Structure 1
Amino acid sequence: MHKSSFANTFTFKIEPDEQGGATKTVTINRHNIAEPPDPGEKKKKAVSAHLLIGFDTEYQTIRDRENEYTVEPGAKNDLLSYQFSIKLFDKNNPGAHPEAEGIIIPEADNRLSTEEFIGFAIGSLIEKYPEIIVPTSIYLLGHFIRADLPAFSDFNEKARRTMSNIRGTFVTLKNAIPISFSVGEGEIAEFKVSIRDTILFSPGNAKSLAVIGDMLEFKKIQLGATPEEDKDIKQNMGKFRAERWPEFREYAIRDAQVCVRYAEKLITQSDGLFKSFKMPTTLTSFGTKLVLDGWKTANQDALGILGREKVKEKKFSQKLGYFITTTSTPYMEEVFYEEAFITETYHGGRNEQFLFGVADIGQWRDHDLSSAYTTAMSLIGLPDWRNLSNINSLDDIQPTDLTYVSVDFAFPEHVRFPTLPVRTSGGIIFPRKGHSKCAAPEVFLAMQLGAKLRFRRGVKVPFDSETQVFTDFIRTSIQNRSKYPNGSFDNLFWKEVGNSTYGKTAQGLRAKRVYNLNADDMESLPESKITQPYFASFITSYTRAVLGEILNSFSEAVQVFSVTTDGFLSNADDVEVERATSGPLFLSFAKALKELNPKKEPLEVKHAVHRPIGWRTRGSATLVPGVGDNGIVLQKGGIKTDVFNNTAEENSEIVRLFLNRKPDDKIRYKTGIGLKDMMRNDTDFVYRSVTKRLSMEFDWKRIPVGEKEVHFEFEGQRYSHLTFDTGPIETVAGFDHLRDAWEKYNKTEHHNLKTLSDFRDFDTFQITQKIPGDKASLYIRKKDGDLQRLKRDLCRAFQHQQAGFDMVRSKNKVTQGSFRDAMHDAGIPCKITDIENAKRKEFHPYQTPDTERVRQALETLKNDYFPELDIGLLLPEGAMDKIQKSPDPLAA
């Protein structure tokens, strides 16, 4: 492989040596290149034609890296091929889009530069169409292009100067990459190359190139006859190239072709919507621009809607030596003063696991609120920011108000799912009591549920409900989507444009750090053009409130397995669902959705399974699947499996991990290194093996209730596993206590929660953490620690005649043997030596854990043997008063 001595002529190998090693030479001629724009023209002409170059590489990954923190500098994959699909996409000549494709086989350790690859692609198109005139605007396209761009020898240097990091991949933003070819004596042909990654335009459920190919009706090629064979081939592409070259070539080029066809669609959409024959950087940018253009078309002030204003300011420029006028768009004064408070009322989706372990066999359905966030957006009326005011009470709050409050709250005991969010270091929780900063929908719901609320402060924004600022945009997205078949490009395009725009209202509100290629440093993710904390807070609050109303409308007979963002998994039948969806919040949601899309049902069933298992927030899988493609519920909870696994394989693997886990289990999986490591170490996108401790235990956001062991079968084997339902955690302090206790419990050795014994041991441990005293809890055993401590304290009290034993022993002669026998009868293992050794230590009151079996043992001793025994001196202070009023949160 070499570049010829002429900068416009390129010769490369186009088949491997075992297939003959043929080469191909192509040339870029001056007469084939469009005239550059006249630099003297004041107004630049709009670009009406681009070269679209789909780009992909095939490579064999190098050996796994064992250390997850260290990246070997300069690590490179075994590069097998570069492939391209190139097309002239001319707006003014829609009937003719010349295209060509090709493949380059690199020599070992000799990689192409960007210019060489693009020059060969352009030359191949010219070779096929000798009279073609090619434009100088180029889009270099790939799907997850982060894995392919490092194959260029000059990648790192170009990335530092010209590329940006968007969602962990490479793109160019304002400035394209300049490349040039010498096409004659003293003549240079200059091109501008823009990098685009089609993964940034992929709908949420269609991130793979295979799904995009299906969407375009241009299928990605499957290599094997079965999924297993396909996986094996992809893991051994070097062997596949050597043994099945024609199939390798076709498969490799197809990926590049899919990228080109997808780019055509996106540029056509951009031109049709915005009269801009360009490819944006992301799919969400379509939505943002549509919103802003819609406001402009309706003669609405975009800055005014967002609570901003234009401010001009004169500043002296040291560089220029004179004053310049700058323009900024800060929040209006009234909006700015409350911005920090409103941002505190913004929380994400509600995500909780309500059942730990194995659910009962039955019909478990995953219901989702249809278009939840977009429907909530449609309710936002035109704000009157100038009349924003502070309120003095919770009177007359309505669920669609732009009102934001700080309240203390306490929900009644019968409320199964409290609905006011509280932010903690462990994420959002929904305790029974506490303090919350939130928006009107959840305050309205809390009052409907009978919560006691103490108002602290509040802000209200008046609005014009007749002028809903997002409705036209959302309705347009829905109407356009409904014109096309499900799964088609246009259908999924409009679905994603509508659904993703909510996120732009919240962008930059919570600190998120991203890697800046040019500065080689981390920086905060900036706000979007439509970031607005008041809107983001209302949208998320309304969605959580609608879900909360449904959950609390179910009868006690319904088990809710989990809730995730805009949906929930439960065993509720149609009668229960109908009753639960008759509340005012859901009815307002259904009405708003019907106005947007009359054909859409407000609550949809996404999955139906027969037996789920769960362990923590966003951690669940399916033990007994349902029927069809939607018969598996799977949320991996941060666990990664083989990248080539399909959903069924992933589900089975994760179920096995959960059922067979041991305290010190570790999982090992392959993961691609991060963009920052790639840049700093000048590496390819290499995989390394990461080993980490398996974490599949409960997250303590709720309190276990009714713990038991369940017996069942999976893959022909019998299992039993700890299972419990949950109730609300009482307070943030209770949550912090349990999380802290669990951390301490696992500090010196790790533990699972797989049996009742496992659960009771931790229950005892967490109770001991509440016992007052400097070091009292440090000496509690983790196995049967409650009974061991009870034995110790009873023996000391007996020997020193404390806790009522002075009266016991003054009335009757109690020998060490009879005391031992009484202890045994109460379920407390005890030896004579335990009683004798107790003489050496003083008795200290209030040091025995208040667990169920401790109380039962004490009651047996008091009722059957020692009526004068003072139980209150053994249990923590106040425990006797609380036993009936407030049972221990982890007690059975």
Structure 2
Amino acid sequence: MQEQANWNNAAETETVTGWHDAANDSEVVSSWENESVEGWEAEGSNDVTFESIQPRRPYDPKDNVFKLPRGLVTEAHPIVAIDTEYTASACGTENNILSYQFAIRFKGQMTTLILYPDNHRKGGRLDLDHCLVQAIEHAITEGVLECWPEMVIACAHFLRADLFNFNKAFSGVQEAVNSVRKTVVSLDKAYGVDVEKVSCRRIDKQPIKVWDSNRNSRHLLLQWYDTMLLCPNGKSLADVGELLGLSKLEIPAPYSIERMDEYLEADKAGFEAYALRDAEVAALHMERVIEFCASLGIKRVPFTIGGIAVKAFTETLSDPKAYRRLFGFEEVTKEIWPEGRNQPLTITSDVACDERLILEDFATRCYHGGRNESFVSGPTAEDTWNDFDAPSCYTSILIGLRQLDYDNMFMTHNLKELFGDKCALARVSFKFPAGTRFPSLPVRTESFGLIYPLEGVTYCTGHELEVAYNQGAEITVKQGFVVPWLNQASIFEPFMQWVRQQRLAHEKGSFDERLFKECGNSVYGKLAQGLRRKTSFEVESGLNKPLLPSTLTNPFFAAYTTGLARALMSEMLNGVPSHRTVVSVTTDGFLTDAELDEINLSGPISNRFRGFFHRIDPNGGEILELKHRASQLIAMKTRGQLTAKQSNGYAEVLAKAGVKTPKGETDPNAFMVNLYLNRVPGQLTDVSHLTSTREMFLGRKDMLMKEKESRLNLEPDWKRRLVSPRMQSVRNTEHIAFESMPFQNVDEMMFNRLRFDRWRLNHCLKTMDDWHNLEDRMAMAEALSEAKLTKVRIKAEERSDELMRRLFLRFYARKSHGLEGATLNANQLAKWLTDEGYVTKATAVRGAKRQKLVEAAVPITAHTLKLLGVIRSRFPEFNYEAMFRKSDLPLLRSFVELCS
């Protein structure tokens, strides 16, 4: 008791520092490692009240408490990877568990164990602690482990899919898992993994109390990892297995992943080999990640690649402990006195400095995503279509980031003071010259992302203003701010140089090379984490909670980086010759029929980027490189491009616009091309998804695949106005194709987009008839919006030529506007119009005289121009211009002149 009292007294003056940040996986460095205590004044949060803070003591078997070792060396502990095989039950409300697989790896040796439930129903599931005991004892028997470990690194690939297939996964696991934080909690009989975005960070916990086969009490501390979060971007478990030299096994025909029970019954040995391989790959993957981190001097492995990148980045700085100052934070100490303590507690935390906070909201408004647009719609002509990318775009731009001098930031209305390599932010009004192909200033919309209109008001960076000014835009700075660089030392250059050196030191495509590449690419994302409101489901509260910023989050840096990337793409797009076509732009590259030597890459933004790029790679070459090539493309929409005709020697261009290809489809490009060309109105597509996190934990449900279909949408997204329709041959059929032009402003875009979305519910834009139908609907929508001025009543679903016919009868009934000499009576006029295809009753002709004469209300469409030709052939003296909207008269006269 005296020893315990002395320990408690010593702890009362403990200073707590460096609270764990869930956003970037920085580790707690305090002696209070496992307390579920929120960080004081964490980024984006308010003051937190500390309740029931109890110091962590060394292991005491009486109350099952264990102090997590400081500076934990994860490579010193065995790895236990789990996996389960299951099928959906016949009723579809739960999973039938077929088997539990375990792979135990330690110091280069591995053994495996497969366990079977008592039965496939929910009541026959095995307990997690019992399975772990058998796995560990099996490893001891096999000689992989010498004795019972005190701690195990437990992992699974896609944790949620396996962890909750054990018995009492929701209501009884609190007996085995006591204090859990972050993604798994044990609170009020709730136990879960926060997987709003495909599982989340970790499960770190106090030891579970188990009994070995001799009924001896054991205490086992588990630290869980989801290896999916430690995979290079886009890599599946099968891909990781190939990288590690341990290939994932295939399920032989006629069996399938959906019917593994049949495989187990028919070929148990084959089933077990397949099932165990997944656990083996996960264990080997975890071991390699631990070794990777150890090679970097990282003792405690973070739970995502982003976390590894942050730790590796801080180690490249001359003063790793002071790196937070570079991002606008300062260390603040606060004294609190928790209830039940004899002495106050001093805690230290990093908070954003006041100078940074002054403009933080403004900087956040200037932060946007990448430039993503489709400039054509439908199939292209056959030609040479090049897919160019700016190499290492965002990682190169990071070289430009230096420490900011917040104390000396200043406001300006001088446009040119915002130009150059500066952290310059502005709110401006702008107007580009008529005929500008690619306006370069983005305007954020609530529902449709960034729009690039000819005029508007926006928040943007100085880089983008420089491009717009060089395009001849009229720009008025409403508010402009420049935050000077404190010095010229690049924050990220040492790290990026180190990443490059490490990649060169490993074989291209190897596991380590891919991890180093991913680390280099991951740092950028941390700059913007938490700036735009995003939430994830919190198991403990049962509510969605905001995603917290990372320790690298900085809205000024995020705005600078993304603004320069958008400006680079905009300048390059405007460097494409006017006789060439640009199909689309996506973040850091674009598709065009222009050759590289035709594109002007000499602008100020291109030169700025070139300087950064060559600081990373002096021999990197030009700032555009060819990634893919095709002979014919299909442009569906933003982030939706297909290869209609492949170019020899080049991989296909394929962006599926979010469509899920069927499982087992061996040629996704061919599937998408066929889907696009043969789509029909109202067609549904598979959008099946796994049971949501909220449903799993609030409803205590298994993770199941929920079958669902949604309306297919491969139509243009209407961020630009479609023009120049034509029919284009593609894959032995014909499909309509368009060029596009920017909208004048966002209001015009929204007007058209909302009505197009309504139209496409019952139509597809595939033929000229479809276009004429859409064009007519759009024109009538505009006429309807102007009806308040003309006082004309437009009938529901009325076509433009029907409106024109009604209004023409009013002119005829009054014998005005050149119809004074018309001699047809009501019956004759009605018969003539009916014979021409416009069904008309004599009573409508007679009643027209009682209705108000309305001028300037008819829109120009294919239908109204056709009817105009009919009317002019019979009544050549009629002053038809009086019927049409004044804004359309120049186009109308051009058409009439062309037809004359």
Structure 1 length-normalised TM: 0.84
Aligned to 1:721: 735
Give runs of aligned pairs for residues 492-641 of structure 1, distance below 5 A. Answer: 492-576=514-598, 579-601=599-621, 602-627=623-648, 631-641=651-661
Preserved contact between residue 780 and residue 789 of structure 1 (Cα < 8 Å):
no
1:412 aligns with 2:412: no
1:270 aligns with 2:288: no
Please state how far the C-alpha of 1:126 moved relative to its aligned partner: 1.0
Distance 1:292 1:444, change over 3 A: same
| Paired residue secondary structure (1:781) | coil
Give runs of aligned pairs for residues 286-325 of structure 1, distance below 5 A. Answer: 286-295=308-317, 297-298=318-319, 301-314=322-335, 317=338, 324-325=345-346
Please state how far the C-alpha of 1:164 moved relative to its aligned partner: 4.7
Aligned to 1:813: 823
Aligned to 1:252: 275
Residue of structure 2 aligned with 1:704, choices 722, 736, 741: 722
Residue of structure 2 aligned with 1:751, choices 760, 763, 768: 763
Please state how far the C-alpha of 1:700 moved relative to its aligned partner: 0.8
Q: Aligned-residue CA RMSD in angstroms?
A: 3.1
1:203 aligns with 2:232: yes
Please give the alpha-carbon distance, in whole angstroms, between the structure 1 residues aligned to 2:467 and 2:415: 12
Distance 1:858 1:668, change over 3 A: same
Preserved contact between residue 535 and residue 545 of structure 2 (Cα < 8 Å):
yes
Give runs of aligned pairs for residues 674-713 of structure 1, distance below 5 A. Answer: 674-713=692-731
Please state how far the C-alpha of 1:285 moved relative to its aligned partner: 0.3
Please give the alpha-carbon distance, in whole angstroms, between the structure 1 residues aligned to 2:243 and 2:738: 43
| Paired residue secondary structure (1:769) | helix
Preserved contact between residue 822 and residue 865 of structure 1 (Cα < 8 Å):
no
* Residue ranges of structure 2 left out of the alignment (5+ in a row): 1-57, 174-183, 896-900
Distance 1:835 1:40, change over 3 A: closer
Q: What amino acid sits opposite 2:677 in the alignment?
A: L
Aligned to 2:370: 349
Please state how far the C-alpha of 1:687 moved relative to its aligned partner: 1.1
Distance 1:814 1:172, change over 3 A: closer
Please state how far the C-alpha of 1:742 moved relative to its aligned partner: 2.0
Aligned to 2:77: 50
Preserved contact between residue 168 and residue 675 of structure 1 (Cα < 8 Å):
no
Aligned to 2:677: 659
Please give the alpha-carbon distance, in whole angstroms, between the structure 2 residues aligned to 1:78 and 1:676: 22
Please state how far the C-alpha of 1:320 moved relative to its aligned partner: 5.2
Residue of structure 2 aligned with 1:849, choices 859, 863, 869: 859
Please give the alpha-carbon distance, in whole angstroms, between the structure 1 residues aligned to 2:741 and 2:713: 22
Please state how far the C-alpha of 1:815 moved relative to its aligned partner: 4.2
| Paired residue secondary structure (2:415) | coil
1:223 aligns with 2:251: yes
Preserved contact between residue 192 and residue 697 of structure 2 (Cα < 8 Å):
no
Preserved contact between residue 781 and residue 788 of structure 1 (Cα < 8 Å):
no
| Paired residue secondary structure (2:222) | strand
Residue of structure 1 aligned with 2:379, choices 342, 346, 358: 358
| Paired residue secondary structure (1:556) | coil
Please give the alpha-carbon distance, in whole angstroms, between the structure 2 residues aligned to 1:218 and 1:303: 41
| Paired residue secondary structure (1:248) | helix
Tell me the alpha carbon deviations over residues 446-498 of structure 1, each in whole angstroms, 9 at most, x when there is no partner: 11222111111111111156301111111111111121122101110011001
Residue of structure 2 aligned with 1:875, choices 863, 884, 892: 884
Please state how far the C-alpha of 1:346 moved relative to its aligned partner: 0.4
Please give the alpha-carbon distance, in whole angstroms, between the structure 1 residues aligned to 2:747 and 2:68: 67
| Paired residue secondary structure (2:330) | coil
Aligned to 2:358: 337
Distance 1:183 1:61, change over 3 A: closer
Aligned to 1:424: 445
Q: Which moved more, 1:384-393 or 1:343-352?
A: 384-393
Q: What amino acid sits opposite 2:248 in the alignment?
A: K
Tell me the alpha carbon deviations over residues 323-373 of structure 1, each in whole angstroms, 9 at most, x when there is no partner: 654444332222211111110100001111112111112222222211111
Aligned to 2:813: 799
Preserved contact between residue 223 and residue 251 of structure 1 (Cα < 8 Å):
yes
Please state how far the C-alpha of 1:136 moved relative to its aligned partner: 1.5
Preserved contact between residue 335 and residue 388 of structure 1 (Cα < 8 Å):
no
Please give the alpha-carbon distance, in whole angstroms, between the structure 1 residues aligned to 2:586 and 2:365: 21
Aligned to 1:453: 475
Q: Which moved more, 1:548-557 or 1:605-614?
A: 605-614
Residue of structure 1 aligned with 2:158, choices 144, 147, 169: 144
Aligned to 2:510: 488
Distance 1:543 1:399, change over 3 A: farther
Residue of structure 1 aligned with 2:127, choices 113, 124, 134: 113
Tell me the alpha carbon deviations over residues 52-76 of structure 1, each in whole angstroms, 9 at most, x when there is no partner: 01111112234596xxxxxxxxx32
Preserved contact between residue 169 and residue 675 of structure 1 (Cα < 8 Å):
no
Aligned to 1:739: 753
Tell me the alpha carbon deviations over residues 164-183 of structure 1, each in whole angstroms, 9 at most, x when there is no partner: 52553445647325322235
Please state how far the C-alpha of 1:835 moved relative to its aligned partner: 3.0
Give runs of aligned pairs for residues 12-161 of structure 1, distance below 5 A. Answer: 46-47=72-73, 49-62=76-89, 75-89=93-107, 97-108=108-119, 109=121, 110-129=124-143, 132-157=146-171, 158=173, 159-161=184-186
Preserved contact between residue 478 and residue 596 of structure 1 (Cα < 8 Å):
yes
Please give the alpha-carbon distance, in whole angstroms, between the structure 2 residues aligned to 1:623 and 1:878: 40
Q: What amino acid sits opposite 1:635 in the alignment?
A: A
Distance 1:64 1:279, change over 3 A: farther
Aligned to 1:15: none
Please state how far the C-alpha of 1:300 moved relative to its aligned partner: 8.0
Distance 1:481 1:40, change over 3 A: closer
Aligned to 2:388: 367
Q: What amino acid sits opposite 1:211 in the alignment?
A: D
Q: What amino acid sits opposite 2:289 in the alignment?
A: L
Please state how far the C-alpha of 1:149 moved relative to its aligned partner: 1.2
Residue of structure 2 aligned with 1:283, choices 305, 328, 332: 305
Tell me the alpha carbon deviations over residues 647-699 of structure 1, each in whole angstroms, 9 at most, x when there is no partner: x2x22222222222221212235432222222223222211210211112111
Please give the alpha-carbon distance, in whole angstroms, between the structure 2 residues aligned to 1:592 and 1:642: 42
Preserved contact between residue 113 and residue 152 of structure 1 (Cα < 8 Å):
yes
Number of residues of Structure 1 aligned to a counterpart in Structure 2: 810
Distance 1:153 1:702, change over 3 A: same
Distance 1:63 1:672, change over 3 A: farther
Residue of structure 1 aligned with 2:260, choices 231, 237, 244: 237
Structure 2 length-normalised TM: 0.84
Aligned to 1:25: none
| Paired residue secondary structure (2:676) | helix
Residue of structure 1 aligned with 2:208, choices 159, 163, 179: 179
Please give the alpha-carbon distance, in whole angstroms, between the structure 2 residues aligned to 1:419 and 1:319: 61
Q: What amino acid sits opposite 1:272 in the alignment?
A: S
Distance 1:446 1:37, change over 3 A: farther
| Paired residue secondary structure (1:610) | strand
Percent of pairs with identical residues = 26
Please state how far the C-alpha of 1:444 moved relative to its aligned partner: 1.0
Q: What amino acid sits opposite 1:154 in the alignment?
A: K
Q: What amino acid sits opposite 1:335 in the alignment?
A: R
Please give the alpha-carbon distance, in whole angstroms, between the structure 1 residues aligned to 2:569 and 2:213: 69
| Paired residue secondary structure (2:859) | coil
Preserved contact between residue 642 and residue 673 of structure 2 (Cα < 8 Å):
yes
| Paired residue secondary structure (2:571) | helix
Q: What amino acid sits opposite 2:211 in the alignment?
A: S
Give runs of aligned pairs for residues 771-782 of structure 1, distance below 5 A. Answer: 771=783, 772-773=786-787, 779=795, 781=797
Distance 1:41 1:604, change over 3 A: closer
Distance 1:812 1:211, change over 3 A: closer
Please state how far the C-alpha of 1:148 moved relative to its aligned partner: 1.1
Please state how far the C-alpha of 1:313 moved relative to its aligned partner: 3.7
Q: What amino acid sits opposite 1:581 in the alignment?
A: L
Please state how far the C-alpha of 1:720 moved relative to its aligned partner: 2.2
Preserved contact between residue 422 and residue 428 of structure 1 (Cα < 8 Å):
yes
Q: What amino acid sits opposite 2:576 in the alignment?
A: F
Tell me the alpha carbon deviations over residues 254-306 of structure 1, each in whole angstroms, 9 at most, x when there is no partner: 11111111111111222222341x331101001112223333x3478423211
